[in-house]
Amino acid sequence: MFVSQPTTTHLLKSEHIASSASTTSSRSFIDTFLGTSKTINISRRRRSNKQEFSSKVTGVGSIRAVISSGDSIVETKTAPIDKSNGALTAKGTDVKVVLTIRKKMKEKLHEKVEYLWESFINGIGQGILIQLVSEEIDPETNSGKTIESNVRGWLPRESDSTYLVEYAANFTVPSDFGCPGAVLVTNLQSKEFFLMEIVVHGFKEPMFFPANSWIHSREDNPESRIIFKNQAYLPSQTPAGLKDLRREDLLSMRGNGKGERKEFERIYDYAKYNDLGNPDKDDDLARPVLGGEERPYPRRCRTGRPPTKTDPSTESRIEKPDPVYVPRDETFEEIKQATFSAGRLKGVLHNLIPSLAAAFSSEEIPFGCFSDIDKLYSDGVIIKNGDNSGLFEKLLLTSLLTKAMSAGKGLFKYNIPSIIQRDRFSWLRDNEFARQTLAGVNPVNIETLKDFPILSKLDPAVYGPPESLITKELINLELQGMDVDEAIENKRLFIIDYHDLLLPFIKKMNSLPGRKAYASRTVFFYNKGALQPIAIELSVPPSASSTINKRVYTHGHDATKYWIWKLAKAHVCSNDAGVHQLVNHWLRTHACMEAYTIATHRQLSSMHPVFKLLHPHMRYTLEINALARQNLINGGGIIEACFSPGRYSMELSSAAYKSSWRFDMEALPADLIRRGMAVEDSSMPCGVRLVIEDYPYAADGLLVWSAIKEWVESYVAHFYTEPNSVSSDVELQAWWSEIKNKGHYDKRNEPWWPKLQTKEDLSGIVTIMVWIASGQHAAINFGQYPFGGYVPNRPTLMRKLIPQEHEPAYEDFLMNPQNAFLSSIPTQLQATKVMAVQDTLSTHSPDEEYLGQLHQFHQRWINDNEILKSFSKFSSKLEEIDEIINARNKDHSLKNRTGAGVPPYELLLPTSEPGVTGRGVPNSVSI
């Protein structure tokens, strides 16, 4: 039997037809709704666990408005409810509130049983309590008018998506209630649930309250969850009835900096990087704290775990596979876990890599010949099942490895990286070595050579004379008749200089077993449209046993110099791989975006326009960073095991932050000008002209940058119309202050921080953040396997120094230079480890959200037609960029994009299919 009110049913049918085209979650509704509703004029209805369920349902007795202040709960009693209140008896309108809840896509038997029980509880009205809060204020209580009802319905009907279900609550809204601006949701059950959205039917048109959030159980936290309507308001424009809720919602996410965070919480707070080491487990796993005057660093999300027993300054670790705390809504959604990142990354780290280690008889086995490397793609790695039964199924692999099964064995075949797919010998050539500085996975360190002599800024008393051994005389020999001064003036000489960053670490790095490195400088000459390396300087710190600590190598024409030059380039590549991973990738995108994300949730209300703009660009970042701290950048993790700096990796990252990171230089045009790779030119779209026109990263990046900038400027101009509207925005000013003074505490006093007084200031700051999260991260992340999956092209570490003529190893080198090269690059185990991780980090998940696109469940993120038109224009612009980049990749005059065996530059193409594609710009740092 179905019990419903005819007027409401008729209303729902008409509104369902009107809204079905734009929403999946509103396609079907519950046929049965039971119960009554009540109206109460209060600031906020919150209850403690001590209250009886009957009082929650009936509303009889005193009402408690609970305001979160950090982790504490301040309760404010109001007068008992007067049931004769006119709002309760006045003739009103029937309203139906529909909640869309997401179930697990893959449920175990006990979870199915639990779900049926939850459905029953919700059906009889004892599972979820809903309160509508009006934008209008009640003059008697000085707070928003409120009306409440329990969710009811005898078993919900599933929507077109089988894992989405809908529940509803009935209300009779008084004529003077006004417009709802928020919904309070109280989960009366013992388990959390994932709320997609709330739709209110019964007013002039459906009202949407997007949630996409986990709703905690009242047993975990007595506070109700606040879900605001999809209307953006500056703080000064907040409707009177919502002001208290806006403040309370922000307070609920800040915490008080005390205690260990719980899994269900949504607390965003700051901490130093003091959780990378594990001294309680092993003295060799102790690591210094990053953050402070000696080792400055951005702040991470605080987890509040107790200190280690060995070192009070180090936070105790949660080791794999247990999760590290991140605020509840920052965790990966199930589709990402099931099809890719959490499941796959953990599978690779926890299952595949130990199995690979067991497959090799020793960690020190080098590749015997280049065909051994080729066999990784043709023959694969044989892993005995033994204790690894079910390993293949656990890994949930897509493009990383091709699975084949034989009797009692598992065979993993790596996919052929794109760098050798068209030309397996391209990595040997100088022009390819140079091309990758402009169109590879790390195209952000090359700069023009501005002065001679090349000088170090390090202390000469410690590191020797500052002058480089790369002299004018040496360079002149390579310039084909051109003078050095002329080449510098015409911007024809370029350099990648890792000398000052690396030299202070070289002695410590070379003391590690199986590691040998130099600090490097590489000079390039641009001639006839092509970049060529002409000199490499490799340095070690001065020592009492050696008077020579610098050597310069050039490309010779005899066999011996050819192989020596090849080894020198390999050392440069290993340095480049380390700087890329630790500085440009981890520090500049992952770590910095974490600080911005924390500040955004702490200081900007979810109804703030800038929050709505930035929110898609913060998706999954805290979770992937937590996984990285647990498995990748931690003491003894993959980065330390497979990259040259070893245990000093994160200290090196800190040194780069201290010496060269600055927020204003993270803007792409500013960075290009700083590096001398572009000059100011007002006639160009972004105000800059490239020094090397065929610079794929910069050329394509400026297209994406320009589109982001135009979108952000139109967005900001729409909301900030008054001259002082930016400077008077209290939330915005607190947000920017917190980014500088908490998120980047160690850089808080730097003079280069941009001001935030005008809408132009705001547009510039937000454009930088969106670019870092999207285009910048995509350009330096998704090429990791395509370029690094073939270890000779981009070795992540070197195990031997270049042999010198007076050394015994020199004779061995002359007898077998191929063996000397292969025994210098990573071992078979090291290579297969890093290849597996690089591929994982290069993979797009099926639920990726790309720049300029909206996820199907985020279509109603804002109720503003002008903004939606601007976003549509932004999306169209990115489609045009896709066409422009594809056309550039077919232009045979652009030698860094086309040619025999040259892979096209696609890293900044806006969209992609799932998997390792070497293209696609996601909204956020999501892997």
Task: Tell me which of 555, 571, 580, 777 is the catalytic residue.
Answer: 777
How buried is 815 (Cβ within 10 angstroms: 0-12 exposed, 13-18 middle, 19+ buried)? exposed
- What contacts 919, CB < 8 A, 6 or more positions away? 782, 906, 907, 908, 909, 911, 912
Is 495 a catalytic site residue?
no
Is 216 a catalytic site residue?
no
H or E element, residue 173: strand 164-174
Burial annotation 228-258 (CB, 10 A radius, 16+ → b, else e): bbbbbbbbeebbbbbbbbbbbbbebbbbeee
Q: What are 74's two structure tokens?
A: 């301040």
| Nearest alpha-carbon partner for 434 in 576, 533, 574, 566 | 533
Question: What are phi and psi for residue 243, nearest 5 degrees?
Answer: -60, -45
Q: Tell me how far apart the alpha carbons of residues 767 and 705 are, in angstroms, rounded to a whole number.
A: 8
Q: What are 45's two structure tokens?
A: 């209805």
User: Look-up: residue for tokens 């994406």?
Assistant: 704
- What contacts 693, CB < 8 A, 6 or more positions away? 699
CA dist list (Å): 41 to 144, 278, 546, 702, 898: 7, 54, 83, 54, 69
Between 730-738 and 592-603, two packed helices, what is the crossing angle to 10 degrees? 150
| Nearest alpha-carbon partner for 704 in 643, 773, 608 | 773
Is 781 a catalytic site residue?
yes
CA dist list (Å): 906 to 89, 830, 873: 65, 28, 22
Is 590 a catalytic site residue?
yes
H or E element, residue 472: helix 472-476
Task: Tell me which of 585, 615, 617, 844 is the catalytic residue.
Answer: 585
Is 777 a catalytic site residue?
yes
How buried is 480 (Cβ within 10 angstroms: 0-12 exposed, 13-18 middle, 19+ buried)? exposed
Q: Tell me how far apart the alpha carbons of residues 62 and 78 are, in angstroms, rounded to a whole number.
A: 6
Residue 679 CA to its chain's centroid (Å): 31
In SS3 terms, 402-470 reads as: EEEEECCEEEEEECCCHHHHCCCCHHHCHHHHHHHHHHCCCCCCCEECCCCCCECCCCHHHHCCCECCC
Question: What are phi and psi for residue 165, nearest 5 degrees?
Answer: -130, 160
Q: Tell me how far apart the alpha carbons of residues 498 and 172 are, in angstroms, rounded to a whole number.
A: 70
Q: What are 291's two structure tokens?
A: 């953050």
Task: Tell me which of 41, 212, 781, 889 is the catalytic residue.
Answer: 781
Give the three-state DSSP class for 534: strand
Task: Tell me which of 534, 639, 825, 927 is the catalytic residue.
Answer: 927
Question: What are phi and psi for residue 850, nearest 5 degrees?
Answer: -95, 155
CA dist list (Å): 544 to 403, 503, 510, 789: 54, 17, 16, 40
Between 499-510 and 649-660, two packed helices, what is the crossing angle to 10 degrees? 160
Give the three-state DSSP class for 494: strand
Using the Cα atoms of residue 866, residue 868, residue 872 and residue 874 in order, give the sign of their dihedral: positive
Give the CB-side neighbour count of residue 145, counting CA atoms within 13 A.
20
H or E element, residue 650: helix 649-660
Max intra-chain CA distance, the chain: 102
DSSP class per residue in 815-877: H-HHHHHHTTS--HHHHHHHHHHHHHHTEEPTT--BTT---GGGTTS---HHHHHHHHHHHHH
Q: Assign residue 202 a region: left if phi > 0, alpha if psi is -120 to 50, beta otherwise?
A: left
Task: Tell me which of 16, 201, 216, 590 is the catalytic residue.
Answer: 590
- Cβ(233)–Cβ(221) below 8 Å: no
Q: Enumerate the active-site residues.
A: 585, 590, 777, 781, 927
